[in-house]
Amino acid sequence: MCNRMSIGIVFASCVMISSALLWTQASKAAEVPNNSPAASGWQSIGMSGGGAMFTPAISPANPKLRMLNCDMSAAYVSRDGGANWQMIHWSQLHTNTRCKPAFHPTDQNVIFASDGVIKISRDQGEHWTAIPNSPRGAMGEIAIDQGQPNRMICGTQEGVWVSNDGGTTWTKGTGTSGRYLSFHFDQTSPAQARIVFAATDAGIFRSDDGGKTWAPKSTGLPGKNLIAFAGASNATSKQVVLYASLPTKAQGDKLAGGIFRSTDRGESWESAMGEGINRDLKAADEWSMGQTAQYTCMAAANANPNIVWAFNTNTGVQPPHNATIYRSEDAGKSWKPTFYADPRYKPAPNIDDFYSVVGNKQFLQEPCLGMAVAASDPNQLMTTDNSYCFMTDNGGTSWKPAHTRKASAGDANAPIAWEGTGLVVTSTWNYYIDPNDSNRHYICYTDIGFARSLDAGKTWIWWDVDTRAPWHNTTFALAFDPLVPGKIWGAFSNVHDIPNGNIVLGRHNANGPGGVCVSTDYGASWKVSNQGLPEKACTSVVMDPTSPAGNRTLYCSIFAQGVFKSTDDGKNWTKASSGLGSQTNMRVHRIERTPDGTLYAMITGLRVNGTFSPDGVGLYRSKDAAQSWQKVNTTQQWLWPKDFTVDDANPNTIYVGACDTPGKDQGGLWRSTDAGATWTRIGKEGPETFGAYLNPKKPGWIYMTLCEGAPNGGLWLSKDNGKTFAPMAGLPFRNAQRVTFDPKDDSIVYVTTFGGSVWRGPSDTH
């Protein structure tokens, strides 16, 4: 399901990270406005999950208090054990997928996290203040000595840093190397001479002086290239157990590598690949993640150092080869798999239903990206991966998805509807309210494709494997037939992020397939309507409402191929790109038809050998039903435009959102009032402006959106026709894309985002 182009792996330590108060006046929380969604009137809507989540953490003082990060810029907090999540406002804390947050061991209100600098929250994650002179670029985790909360440690690219005064001052330790994974404070050692362990991808290190100096402790390990580490120690039982995971491989008829343990503070290590764990030496089927299982995440808790959890990549999809979460209660001498989610196999699933399993009729296994255990209760575990977040509170007997839940049952014959949990982590391109039924809403997604609502956005139905489009990673746009209720055309693609940086800057492959599909049942099912189209990413589709019902004229954009036209309701298509773009750039990503019949098409940026090329880029217009196209912006060059809007009330007024490129100050919101003959920049609040959206019921109101690198928020509003813009600061997510207006309620707007789903909020700045 998830088409992320790169997957990072985050490794967890056994002791839940905790934090300490800073006892200096300089570190007191700043007085900032309450930007929580509840206070600002903004609410996330739509499906949750579907994107990569990292660095989960559970508070040792209150296991119901939890945090995690996503790869699309946001951090999240839950205060009810993961049932519901709040996106932390972008102005308070950004994501950090490489460093796990840290909770104070006794004061549940205090949390530490890093988003470049280390920050502190004293109100359970609502507001955050940067700690002066703290280490920059923390990785792995911020670790706190559970028995001495003023002692903190973290790793950076420059080395390991230690604080003995709750983060007020930091000193650099010596003797470690590598990329830091995690740390462990030995609770059985004297507080005044605390033993600390550091795990990096270059081995295990131990400090006997609280983190000042370090020595390697990898004797007995088959290598030093660690991929995961966990440590647990109990002052009452005087027990210390360390766990380290190294890459596995087949050596003849034996498995080398895997999980190791040390019970003598790292002086020696022995294999912990006990009975019951996956020790396959070859792939069991063609869907395996590798010939041998890799143990990429581990966790253990000080409450009982003998209990350890480990996630494995699969060697086949069917048990016992599947990706699962193992649990050992005897320090790795024996293991038991605890996680089953695929309804096709036995044992039967021990996790509550979630939309992708129900819709796909199978569980798509993915590598674990993070793992967290409650320090006081090793039966409580949370894991994250490239699409999902799972939790157990009973030692793995049963599991719950934190990224979604089934809505209350209604009509037994109705399709299953789902409620979001607030863990919104994927991109949305357009939000639609059906012109024939205002209770029907639709979301065009990246990664999870498409969802529809029958109750005005309260609950959502995800498309399933039997009814969805064959190109189901991304839905970019829909077109509705106003005279035929339920008839919708859709633009679908297995390429995402067009026209944003991943595609324009060449970080992701733009050559995947896509096409047009049609639905006659309000989006409940889709059929390919693609004859004559190249099977490439389809990014928009529009319909001519003056053409006859049942034989509509339609236009679609195929990325890097041009504009195509159908005159038979979408059954057959022909290219209609004369005058559009250039031979080297036909990266058309959006088309629009104005009420007077004029067509517009935008071609976005292209880099050649690392340099933006002006060839073909720009906004084009056709006044003859796509027989020919002419460039509109001949007097104003943009190398990377993102979106455009033509004012229906005054077709000579056109808006374009554009981005800066190296050496070129072309970004911002541009407007022409003479049909494109001249252009004026009316707004710029960051390097990448996405577009402008006009409130049809409030003349002169212009919403400007910014996406990727919006320094002061992604949503701005002008009430004076573009003379001045004010930020809509309540929107918790920073990277905004498009704005949709409710025809029945002009007090609200819907905002699609690049990585934070859809937000419903007030149409005004207040």
User: Quick check: helix, strand or coil at residue 135?
Assistant: coil
CB of 581 closer than 8 Å to CB of 616 = yes
pLDDT by residue (tens digit) across 445-462?
999 999 999 999 999 999
Residue 171's pLDDT band, with cuts at 50, 70 and 90, is very high
pLDDT band at 4 (very low <50, low <70, confident <90, very high): very low
Task: Tell me the three state secondary structure of residue 565.
Answer: strand
Give the angle 483-484-488 at the CA atoms, nearest 5°.
115
* CA atoms of 100 and 176, how far apart (whole Å): 20
Q: What is the mean pLDDT of residues 93-110?
A: 96
The answer to whether residue 151 scores a pLDDT higher than 50 is: yes
Q: Which two tokens stand for residue 520?
A: 């006659």
Reduced DSSP (H G I as helix, E B as strand, rest coil) percent helix, strand, coil of the chain, to 5: 5, 40, 60
For 426-438, how does the pLDDT look when each residue is reduced to its tens digit (9 = 90+)? 999 999 999 999 9
Kindly calculate the radius of gyration of the chain based on its CA atoms and give it in whole angstroms: 27
Contact present, 600 and 620 (Cβ < 8 Å): yes
> Looking at the predicted structure, is the pLDDT value of residue 378 above 90?
yes
The alpha carbon torsion through 631, 636, 639, 644 (nearest 10 deg) reads: -70
What is the CATH superfamily name and number for domain 42-406? YVTN repeat-like/Quinoprotein amine dehydrogenase (2.130.10.10)
Q: Report the half-sphere exposure of 231 (CA within 13 A, side-chain side).
A: 28
HSE toward the beta carbon, residue 279, CA cutoff 13 A: 18
Cα angle vertex 343, ends 338, 347, to 5°?
A: 40
- In the predicted structure, residue 31 carries a pLDDT above the cut 50: no
3-state secondary structure of 504: helix
The burial class, CB within 10 Å (0-12 / 13-18 / 19+), for 484 is middle
The answer to whether residue 141 scores a pLDDT higher than 90 is yes
CB 658 within 8 A of CB 638: yes
Residue range 689-746, pLDDT digits in tens: 999 999 999 999 999 999 998 999 999 999 999 999 999 999 999 999 999 999 999 9
The count of residues in the chain is 766
Residue 11 has pLDDT above 60, yes or no: no
> According to the 3-state scheme, what is the secondary structure of 694-714?
ECCCCCCCEEEEECCCCCCCC
- What pLDDT band is residue 766 in, cutting at 50, 70 and 90? low
Residue 12: is its pLDDT beyond 70?
Answer: no
Confidence at 614, pLDDT banded by 50, 70, 90: very high
Picking from 470, 386, 564, the residue whose alpha carbon sits closest to that of residue 2 is 386
Per-residue pLDDT, 15: 28
| Mean pLDDT, residues 78-85 | 98
Using alpha carbons, select from 654, 649, 597, 602 the residue that is nearest to residue 626.
597
Identify the pLDDT of residue 6: 32
Average pLDDT of the segment spanning 189-199: 95
Q: Taking residues 99-119, what's their average pLDDT?
A: 96
- In DSSP terms, which residues pair with 141 in a beta bridge? 100
Give the separation between CA 475 and CA 479, rounded to whole angstroms. 12
Buried b (16+ CB within 10 A) or exposed e, 120-157: bbbebbbbbbbbeebbeebbbbbbbbbbbbbbbbbbbe
Mean pLDDT of the chain: 93
Does residue 14 surpass a pLDDT of 90? no
- Are residues 256 and 248 in contact, defined by beta-carbon separation less than 8 angstroms? yes
Which residue intervals of the chain bear CATH 2.130.10.10? 42-406, 430-631
Write down the architecture of domain 430-631 according to CATH: 7 Propeller (2.130)
Predicted pLDDT at 47: 96
- For residue 594, which amino acid is it? T
Query: Quick one: what percent of the chain has pLDDT higher than 90?
Result: 93
What confidence score (pLDDT) does residue 698 get? 95
Q: What integer pLDDT is reported at residue 39 of this predicted model?
A: 57
- C-beta separation of 330 from 306 below 8 A: yes
